[in-house]
Amino acid sequence: MKFIRNIIKPQDKEDEEFYVALKKLLGFRPKNINYYKTAFIHRSIKVLDENGNPINYERMEFLGDAMLGSVIAAFLFKTVPDGNEGYLTQMRSKIVSRNQLNTLGKELDLIRFVKSTISKNRMGQNIYGNIFEALIGAIYLDRGYRYCEKFIDKRVINAFVDIPSLENKITSYKGLIIEWCQKTKKNLEFQTYEDSGNENIRHYSVKLVIDGKVISKGRSTSKKKAEEIASKRIYFVYQDEIKNML
């Protein structure tokens, strides 16, 4: 019994503070805080288990991503009985989009728990969504599916999911432009090149070419972001035509 009590109520001061903060965040008592500790270990710490396997949040993130997708899929299946497979898949993608998960992780201030050798202000925005998913993975391992479902229902579904609003939400302008060009038989090309100029941070520029003509440009610190910016600019030029076609 002593062993069990030590798991539920840690005696170490740092663990005790973590336990109290975690209990408040989750809305229930964690049984084994070691799962949650792992959910906030960054790979830069280079912690290994007794078999030499790395211990960090990435495996927890994988599990949490699957659990989140499962809970959201069940919610949509029950809530939208007339939605076909394509519609349900698209809606799930909108709910669990990287931007949305980053926002949720940031609102919960999960970064405060992260153990890393890298300064937190140097971490990319995706760290917030990654550890949010890792936290869900830890909940599943600690308390099972039902508690996982309750947490997602409270923090994700009740917090921001509104079906009518999500139906009109665009999560990827690039994907939308590609689909539009395919349906209208237009030749689409993204011409991407490195463009750092006099800046210390690497930048990329993109020319979005349709039927041999440069229609828009985008520039950012990653190819993906630059392509999305260029695609978004095209969308607002042709949005009426795109909406009618799609």
Last residue of a domain, one of 148, 167, 186: 167
Question: What is the separation of C-alpha 174 from the centre of its chain, rounded to a whole number of angstroms?
Answer: 18
pLDDT of residue 1: 33
Q: How far apart are CA 58 and CA 131, in angstroms?
A: 8
Catalytic residue positions? 65, 133
Q: Global pTM?
A: 0.71
- Report the pLDDT value the prediction gives residue 52, as an integer from 0 to 100: 85
* pLDDT reported for residue 199: 61
Number of domains within the chain: 2
Judge if 137 and 214 occupy the same domain: no
| pLDDT number for residue 151 | 96
Tell me, what's the pLDDT at 7?
47
Q: Are residues 28 and 80 in the same domain?
A: yes
Q: Can you give the CATH number for the domain in which 27 is found?
A: 1.10.1520.10
pLDDT at 3: 37
pLDDT for 164 equals 78
pLDDT of residue 59: 94
The residues that bridge with 149 in the sheet, in sequence order, are none
Residue 216: in which H helix or E strand, if any?
strand 213-220
Q: What is the residue range of 207's domain?
A: 173-245
Residue 155: DSSP 8-state: I
The pLDDT assigned to 60 comes to 95
Give the contacts of 84 (CB within 8 A, at least 6 positions apart): none
Q: Is the dihedral of CA 227, 230, 234, 239 positive or negative?
A: positive
**144 and 183 part of one domain:** no
Indicate if 122 and 40 belong to the same structural domain. yes
Same domain, 43 and 94: yes
Going through 56-135 in order, the beta strands assigned E by DSSP cover none
Smallest CA-to-CA distance from 40 within 51, 27, 55, 62 is with 55
Q: What is the 3-state secondary structure (H, E, C) of 146-180?
A: HHHHHHHHHHHHHHHCCHHHHHCCCCCHHHHHHHH
CA separation, residue 93 to residues 30, 80, 85, 98, 125 (Å) = 29, 15, 12, 9, 19
User: Residue 47: what pLDDT?
Assistant: 84
Q: Which segments in the chain show pLDDT lower than 50? A: 1-8
